[in-house]
């Protein structure tokens, strides 16, 4: 499983020869818009955690360009289906066996509405089990006890957690989340994109290190291999 970071919560996952794009937000992202052309991105599936613009802005364009299937909660799926895009609706607690692995849509504590005010259902995250590697993409969320449920069912190899604070968990809560998830390998996302979520990288890494955990912060277009 190969995971590439494109800023904010935008991730490209290659697993079982499928391309999965998560929360595509590039054209409006000052950190990635000059470095990445969204029309160059491959996608068989586009996973959307919630409807906020910094997670879905380029989803329609990329879905139409690639023919990718949008996977999200029911309301978000119906929003894109009405635009002629193929969708796979899910909802919280539900699991589906896709051709690249097993996906569960799990709880997040946040909000979810499209920029035009359309209701975007309840926000979520994804647990993906594929190629003998298991990952958790938290999406935008507060620290929540529900994260303990994930560790009860899935041995995680990587947790992808928001760490930028203000709109989501900050670093201190993300360290506790990693404990709840029983996962020592963390990819930090949702930081530095806007003024409200700028973080001190060294301090963030040190806090995870002091808790016996490894926080990775990737440059735009940088990848890790699991």
Question: How far is Cα 91 from Cα 211, in angstroms, rounded to an integer?
Answer: 33
Question: How far is Cα 140 from Cα 112, in angstroms, rounded to an integer?
Answer: 10
Q: Which is nearer to Mn ion, 166 or 221 (CB)?
A: 166
Query: Residue 19: which of Mn ion, Ni ion, none does it interact with, CB under 5 to 8 A by kind?
Result: none
Question: How far is Cα 45 from Cα 72, in angstroms, rounded to an integer?
Answer: 10
Q: Which is nearer to Mn ion, 58 or 140 (CB)?
A: 140
Helix axes 59-66, 74-81, angle to 10 degrees: 60
Could you say whether residue 173 binds Mn ion (CB under 5 A)?
Answer: no
Whole-number minimum distance, CB 136 to Mn ion, in Å?
A: 17
Whole-number minimum distance, CB 147 to Ni ion, in Å?
A: 17
Could you say whether residue 140 binds Mn ion (CB under 5 A)?
Answer: yes
What are 225's two structure tokens?
Answer: 């291999």
Stretch near Ni ion under the rule CB under 5 A, chosen from 5-13, 64-72, 101-109, 133-141: 133-141
Q: Which is nearer to Mn ion, 52 or 185 (CB)?
A: 52
Binding mask of the shown chain, residues 91 to 130, with x at each position contacting Mn ion by CB under 5 A: ----------------------------------------
Residues 35-64 that bind Ni ion (CB under 5 A): 52
Binding mask of the shown chain, residues 90 to 109, with x at each position contacting Ni ion by CB under 5 A: --------------------
Of 161, 154, 210, 206, the closest CA to residue 182 belongs to 154
Query: How many residues make contact with Mn ion (CB under 5 A)?
Result: 3
Contacts of 202 (CB under 8 A, 6+ apart): none
Could you say whether residue 140 binds Ni ion (CB under 5 A)?
Answer: yes
Contacts of 208 (CB under 8 A, 6+ apart): 171, 174, 175, 178, 186, 214, 215
Query: How many residues make contact with Ni ion (CB under 5 A)?
Result: 2
Q: Which is nearer to Mn ion, 57 or 134 (CB)?
A: 57
Stretch near Mn ion under the rule CB under 5 A, chosen from 50-58, 60-68, 70-78, 114-122: 50-58
Q: Which is nearer to Ni ion, 9 or 134 (CB)?
A: 9
Angle at 22 between CA 27 and CA 207, to 5 degrees: 95
Q: Which is nearer to Ni ion, 100 or 126 (CB)?
A: 126
Q: Which residues bind Ni ion (CB under 5 A)?
A: 52, 140
């Amino acid at each position: 499983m190969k995971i590439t970071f494109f800023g904010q919560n935008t991730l490209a996952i290659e697993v079982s020869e499928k391309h999965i794009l998560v929360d595509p937000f590039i054209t409006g992202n000052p950190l990635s818009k000059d470095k990445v052309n969204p029309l160059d991105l491959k996608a068989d599936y586009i996973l959307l955690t919630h409807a906020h613009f910094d997670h879905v802005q380029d989803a329609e364009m990329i879905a139409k360009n690639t023919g990718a299937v949008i996977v999200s909660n029911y309301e978000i799926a119906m929003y894109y289906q009405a635009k002629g895009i193929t969708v796979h609706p899910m909802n919280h607690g539900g699991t589906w066996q896709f051709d690249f692995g097993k996906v569960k849509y799990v709880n997040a504590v946040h909000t979810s509405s499209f920029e035009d005010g359309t209701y975007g259902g309840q926000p979520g995250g994804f647990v993906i089990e594929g190629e003998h590697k298991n990952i958790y993409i938290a999406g935008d969320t507060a620290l929540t006890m529900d994260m303990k449920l994930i560790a009860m069912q899935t041995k995680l190899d990587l947790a992808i957690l928001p760490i930028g604070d203000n709109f989501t968990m900050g670093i201190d809560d993300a360290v506790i989340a990693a404990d709840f998830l029983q996962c020592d390998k963390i990819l930090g996302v949702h930081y530095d994109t806007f003024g409200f979520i700028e973080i001190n990288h060294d301090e963030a890494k040190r806090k995870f290190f002091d808790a016996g955990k490894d926080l990775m912060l990737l440059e735009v277009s940088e990848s890790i291999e699991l």
